[in-house]
Structures are given as structure tokens and as C-alpha cells.
Structure 1
Amino acid sequence: MSATATIPGAGWALADGWTIARRDLQHWRRQPGQVLTVWFFPVLMVVMFGGLFGGAMEVPGGGSYYDLLMPGMFGLTMLFGLEGTMTAVAVDAQKGVTDRFRSLPIASTAVVLGRCIADLLSSIAGLLVLIATGLLLGWRWEDGFAPALAAVGLLLLLRFAALWIGIFAGLAIGSPEGVAAVQTLIWPVGLVSSVLVDTTTMPSWLGVIAQWNPLSSTVNAARDLFGNPGATGDSWIVQNSLLMAIVWPVLLVAIFLPLSARRFRRLGG
């Protein structure tokens, strides 16, 4: 009886979540400038980093710096996307939108699930824009379509985990002003990684921190699957990047998804 009740309950939550997601998608349709900024800012970063640093960077095994840079920028974009998630969730909480949703006869997790669905769809579109940019700049995946698709799957898995961190942070902070202060921490987390350079070129202590950054595991695994130049080093975390590109996001989701749902239920309590 319990299992039978769980299936309709899960379906109810998913249906309600999709309704909330459609509300967010309609907002983006009315304000396309915000969406286009989210999608094309990473393009500007690629052109900037590639143009500024490309001529001075030594790529492991040789080749264009874009071969090293593009998978890193794919991963960095997945991480930086949580800024918009935090802000949107905090704005809804501050304006009372979240409280109005809580008063409706919908599943308790539908609001956070809807935000996650909408933001994940936006992230897919943004990632496709960035992939197209890389192709125009000469970047290519070298090991076939199936491994490349697996790399995209790992990138979206990281984004899915980052979404739940952003949702929890937005609910916990509850104001756009507080979110702005937290957003400054995202840059060091994103850049102290293997996104832009091989971690072996860093001071040893900083290199260890960068290698254990979950973003580095996803980026290194994506580079391997794309067939692009990857990180060097013989540490356990570098040698097991593919495994940790799965373990890190799953662990983060297991922590922050229930925390987000619990925080949502306790709002206004």
C-alpha cells in the first residue's frame, strides 16, 4: 500500500513541478534579454580568455588552447549558472511568491522542483550555444559522438547538483542583497580548478585544492571523453576523474535536495 501511494505522490509532485517550471519559462519569454545574457556571457568569457591567454598557454600534448579551454568553460558555465538560481529563489521568497505557492494545494516539493526543471532547460540551451561557439573557434571533439554525449551528460549532472545548492542557498538567504554577497565566493570556487590551466602548474598546495574541486573532476572527465588535452598528474583524484564526476554531483544532490525541500516547508514557520 505504501509503494502504491508513493507512485501517485511522485507523479503529483512532478506534474506540479512542471506547472511551476512553465511559469518560470513564461517569465523568460517576456524578458528575453535576461535569458540571452545568461546564454551569451559565457561566449564573451571564451573569447576573452582564449584571446588573452591562448598565445601564452602551453597545452599538454600540444595543440590549440581552445582544445583545453572549451571543456573547462562548459564546466564553469554549469557552476556559474547557480547565481541566477539563487537570485530568482531569493526574490520569490522576499516578494512573498513562495508563501503564496505554499498556500496552494500542491506537492510541497513542487516549487523547488519546478525551479530546477526550468533552470536545467535553460542550462541545456546555454550549453548548446557555447558548444556552437567552440565549433566556430575551431574546437572539436575527437573520440566520436557517443563519448561526447556522455561528456555533456556529466556536465548537466554537475549543473543539476549546482541547482540544488543554489535553491537551498536562495531559500536560506532569502534576499537578493544577501545573495549578492555570496555570489563573490563562486568565482574562487570556479577558478581554483582545472578549468583554465593544468593544476600541476600551480603551487603544490593550491594544486591539491584545485584537483579536489568537484568542478575539476567533471572538467577532466569531459576532456577525456571529448578527446581533448586533459589534466596531467598522478594523484588518485586526477586518475579517477570519471568516477568522481559522477560521485561528487550525486553526493551534492543527496545533501542539498532534501535540505531544499525541508527549508521550503519551514518557510514562514
Structure 2
Amino acid sequence: MSTLAHDGVTMVGRQLRRVRNSPGLAVLAQLMPVNMLLFFGYVFGSALAMPGAEYRSFLVPGLLVATAAGGVMTGMFQAAQDTHRGVMDRFRTMPLSPAAVPLGQAVADLVVTAIGTVPLLLVGLAVGWRVQGPAPAAVAAVGLLLLFRFACTTVGILLGLLTRSEEAAGQLGASSFVLPLLSNAYIPTGNLPHWLRTLAEWNPISALTTALRDLFGNAPVPADSAWPVAHPVAGSVAWSTVLIAVCLPLAVRRYRRC
């Protein structure tokens, strides 16, 4: 365990230096939600039944979760880049714990995400979003958000290790953008066709978005929803736990073999 901790810290430092030297992907990932908040909040907000300011309060938690889900794309691209440029081969020649490499990447991504979320929160406050729930609930919301980001990053790392090229990873990662669109991140799902509503409510993003809206005090839990949305905190923890429990061991196993 001490070897894993030491090697993990080393890998975290390596990943943070990597982001510092090539910040483009991280900056793009953080600027996109801000642009979407301004666009959706002021353009689409006026077209929905709820007033614009209320929609922006509804939208901010969804964009926070969409940003967390972006860990799939980031994790995939970075893991594929290391794999196909021979970095993973060099790591395997070193006396490193196999689990330290994917864990280090995921933890470093978590640090970058925690810092990068601040601009979105500040813009959200500027356009009218407020934390209306108690402080402990808001802290729990942030914890759930970071847990989900970690889970999404482990999914991305596994997929990145499985891809055949960097280009394939980039194309597959970009397609993950559709996941928030098939959820309640941007619009309420109550008026969707039954089959589409069911699909959206079993999307892990919907459970976490509902949990954040409830914990921040921005919107109540909708009635007559699928189990993950009707019990959003438990659903969010369950989804994140399952994704980590499945994908992290598989990523370590794939790293040993790739």
C-alpha cells in the first residue's frame, strides 16, 4: 500500500505537469460549460415555460454535471496518447505499482476539475444562480460531483487503453458530448415521450443533476420518476460506485497487458 501511495503521488505530479505544459484541452473543457450557460441561459431560457432567471438556476447544476461527465473524454484522450506514444511501455519497465498509473491520472484530473469548476460557479452566480439549500447539503453536492468525475475519468482511461489510435480516442471521446443531451441536464424530462423519458432518467447524469438541484435548493425532486431520479443521492452514489468498481480494475488489468 505504501508503494501504491508513493507511486500514485508521483503519477499525480506527472499528470499535473502535463496539464501545465499543455493546458489547451483543460481550458477548452472548462470554457465550454461557461459558453453554454450564457447561450442556453439567455437564448433557450426565454423559450421555455420557466422564466429566464429560474432556468439559469435550473441549468447551472446540469452544466456542472456535464462538465464532470467530460472526464470520459479527457481520460480517454490522455490514456490513448500515453499508450500510442510509448509512454505506457516505459512505465511498465519501471518498478511502479500497476494501479498507480490509472489512479494517478484520475486523481490529477480531479484536482484540475476542482479548480476549473470555479469559473463556471462564478459565472453562474453572476447570472442569478444561488445556493438556496443548507451549507452541509451544498458540500455534499460538491462531493457527489467530484465522485462522479472520478468515475467518468476511470471509464475514459479504460476506453483510452482499449482504443487502436489517438484519432479513434478523439472521435469516440467527442461523441460523449451527446450523453448530457439524453438527460435532464438542460431540460425537464416530464414532457418527453415515455421511452425517451425512461432512457433519460436511467442516464447517470440525470440522477446526479437531480441530486445537485435538490441539495443546492434549486429544484425539488420530480415525482413519478425512475428510481435513480426519485432517489437521486443514492442513485448518484450507486452509479459512481458501480462505474469505479468495474472500470478501475479493468483499466489496471489492461495497462498490464497493453
Q: TM-score range by the shorter chain?
A: over 0.9
In the alignment, residue 28 of structure 2 is paired with which amino acid? T
The whole-number CA distance in structure 1 between the counterparts of 2:175 and 2:24 is 25
Q: How many residue pairs were aligned?
A: 257
Give the number of the structure whose alpha-carbon radius of gyration is greater: 1
* Selected match of 2:138 from 145, 148, 170: 148
Taking structure 2 as the reference length, the TM-score comes to 0.94
Q: In the alignment, what sits opposite 1:252? A: 243
Cα-to-partner distance string for 1:128-164 (whole Å, 9 max, x where unaligned): 2211111111100101221111111111111111011
Within-5 A mapping of 1:57-72: 57-59=48-50, 64-72=54-62
Within-5 A mapping of 1:231-250: 232-237=222-227, 238-250=229-241
The whole-number CA distance in structure 1 between the counterparts of 2:85 and 2:145 is 32
Misfit runs of 4+, over 4 Å: none
In the alignment, residue 195 of structure 1 is paired with which amino acid? A
Cα distance change, pair 229–59 in 1 and its aligned pair in 2 (3 A): farther
Cα distance change, pair 185–27 in 1 and its aligned pair in 2 (3 A): closer
What is the deviation of 1:247?
Answer: 0.6
RMSD, aligned α-carbons: 1.7
The whole-number CA distance in structure 1 between the counterparts of 2:198 and 2:23 is 41
State whether residues 29 and 67 of structure 2, in contact with CA within 8 Å, keep that contact through their aligned partners in structure 1.
no
Q: In the alignment, what sits opposite 1:189? A: 179
State whether residues 109 and 261 of structure 1, in contact with CA within 8 Å, keep that contact through their aligned partners in structure 2.
yes
The whole-number CA distance in structure 2 between the counterparts of 1:117 and 1:204 is 38
In the alignment, residue 97 of structure 2 is paired with which amino acid? A
Within-5 A mapping of 1:206-221: 206-221=196-211
Q: In the alignment, what sits opposite 1:179? A: 169
State whether residues 171 and 260 of structure 1, in contact with CA within 8 Å, keep that contact through their aligned partners in structure 2.
yes
In the alignment, structure 1 segments of 5+ residues that lack a partner are 1-9
In the alignment, structure 2 segments of 5+ residues that lack a partner are none
Taking structure 1 as the reference length, the TM-score comes to 0.90
Cα-to-partner distance string for 1:149-193 (whole Å, 9 max, x where unaligned): 111111111111101100100001142111133124312222100
What is the deviation of 1:63?
Answer: 5.8
Q: In the alignment, what sits opposite 2:35? A: 44
Cα distance change, pair 189–36 in 1 and its aligned pair in 2 (3 A): closer
State whether residues 29 and 70 of structure 2, in contact with CA within 8 Å, keep that contact through their aligned partners in structure 1.
no
Q: In the alignment, what sits opposite 2:83? A: 93
Asked whether 1:202 is paired with 2:192, we answer: yes
* Selected match of 2:21 from 25, 30, 37: 30
The whole-number CA distance in structure 2 between the counterparts of 1:36 and 1:178 is 22
Q: Which moved more, 1:192-201 or 1:39-48?
A: 39-48
Q: Which moved more, 1:232-241 or 1:214-223?
A: 232-241
What is the deviation of 1:229?
Answer: 1.9
